[in-house]
């Protein structure tokens, strides 16, 4: 039985509604507020709804990568109204730098947190071992992170399962694999599936150049799978891959944007809205709207700069909600935004 860790403090972390000064850059009706800055470096978010509340996950560390041998931890906070946030859990594992926690809800009704696990010896990266944690049925407590099992035919030195998306009882995810040489070494990109969040089997191996890595899986109204993929070498432009079930015959579409921490959602008529780090004219978090078939244009820039991006995205009612991190106010902090869908559709 999993050991559940309940770390709900007796006091709420209320940082207040801190409306940004947007000038004329953002339309009226958009709200942005800082919701967390208690860690030394707060980054790499995700966002879901569960039991009528927002849940936001992110990494707390002493830097973008571990410094002084201090590994990152996973913080999970929640809110009923998007303004008043409480800490639900702080997950850690000895010897593992926990990174990029991504949230989903399993078919059995638990929150699942898939987590990148980097193993360091001092400042030297020795390998990557993905981790997973599950909540109880009420979302009040989370299990200690445990190692996931990956198909023995493909398991590697450097597995990173970046986000799990559930569809018809099956969770799908991209495992990007790199070796000790990182960008200078071999890279592999696999589509995996799971039914329990602990054991992942191979579905398909992608053949994409340019050091493909972070990727988000989503499904449209016709059950086709869409995978948004970051690339970091060559022209560095992102790729959107699309396939119908059983997800073995793929079409690839190169975008006009370099991506970072990519995520996306579908709006009406399967219109895609991408949230990503935008690199020009300077680094910031932007929303890319689909103009027509696989052509995107930046339609909104959120308050952000420098070390930033990795948005969580969800649609509820008449708004798109985002979590993200940014260093535009000096310290890397976690932000929560609400955007009327009428401005996007």
**Could you tell me the pLDDT band of residue 13, with boundaries at 50, 70 and 90?**
very low
Please report, in angstroms and rounded to a whole number, the separation of the first and last CA atoms in the chain: 46
Which residue carries 């039991």 as its tokens? 51
Task: Work out the burial of residue 195: count CB atoms within 10 Å of its CB; fewer than 13 is exposed, 13-18 middle, 19 or more buried.
Answer: middle
Quick: pLDDT tens for 68-100: 767 999 999 999 999 999 999 999 999 999 999
Q: pLDDT of 143-195, one tens digit each?
A: 999 999 999 999 999 999 999 999 999 999 999 999 988 888 889 999 999 99
Q: Domains for the chain: give ranges and CATH numbers.
A: 4-18+40-301 (2.120.10.10)
DSSP 195-213: SSSSEEEEEEEE---S-EE
Give whole-number Cα distances, 310 to 56, 90, 141, 158, 242, in Å.
12, 19, 24, 21, 22
pLDDT of 7: 39
Amino acid 94: pLDDT: 92
Given a cut of 80, is residue 25 above it in pLDDT?
Answer: no
Is a pLDDT exceeding 50 seen at residue 138? yes
Quick one: average pLDDT of 10-38?
Answer: 60
**What is the spatial distance between Cα 105 and Cα 91, in angstroms, rounded to a whole number?**
18
The Cα–Cα gap between 247 and 226 comes to 10
């Amino acid at each position: 039985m999993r050991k559940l860790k309940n770390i709900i403090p007796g006091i709420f972390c209320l940082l207040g509604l801190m409306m940004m000064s947007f000038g004329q850059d953002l339309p009226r009706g958009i709200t942005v507020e800082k919701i967390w800055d208690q860690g030394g470096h707060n980054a790499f978010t995700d966002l879901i709804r569960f039991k009528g509340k927002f849940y936001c996950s992110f990494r707390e560390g002493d830097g973008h990568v571990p410094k002084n041998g201090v590994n990152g931890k996973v913080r999970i906070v929640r809110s009923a109204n998007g303004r008043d946030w409480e800490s639900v859990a702080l997950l850690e594992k000895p010897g593992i730098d926990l990174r990029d926690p991504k949230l989903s809800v399993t078919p059995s009704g638990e929150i699942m947190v898939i987590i990148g696990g980097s193993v360091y010896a001092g400042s030297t990266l020795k390998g990557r071992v993905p981790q997973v944690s599950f909540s109880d049925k009420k979302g009040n407590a989370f299990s200690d992170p445990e190692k996931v099992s990956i198909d023995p035919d493909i398991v590697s030195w450097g597995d990173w399962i970046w986000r799990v998306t559930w569809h018809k009882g099956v969770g799908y995810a991209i495992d990007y694999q790199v070796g000790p040489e990182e960008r200078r070494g071999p890279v592999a990109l696999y589509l995996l599936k799971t039914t329990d969040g602990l054991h992942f089997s191979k579905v398909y191996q992608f053949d994409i150049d340019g050091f493909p890595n972070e990727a988000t899986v989503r499904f449209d109204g016709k059950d086709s799978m869409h995978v948004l993929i970051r690339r970091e070498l060559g022209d560095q432009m992102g790729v959107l891959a699309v396939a119908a079930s059983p997800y073995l015959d793929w079409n690839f579409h190169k975008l006009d944007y370099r991506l970072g921490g990519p995520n996306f959602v579908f709006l009406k008529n399967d219109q895609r809205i991408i949230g990503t780090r935008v690199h020009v004219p300077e680094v910031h978090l932007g929303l890319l709207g689909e103009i027509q078939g696989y052509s995107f244009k930046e339609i909104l820039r959120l308050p952000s700069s420098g070390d930033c991006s990795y948005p969580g995205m969800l649609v509820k009612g008449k708004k798109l909600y985002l979590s993200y991190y940014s260093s535009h106010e000096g310290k890397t902090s976690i932000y929560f935004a609400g955007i009327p869908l009428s401005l996007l559709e």
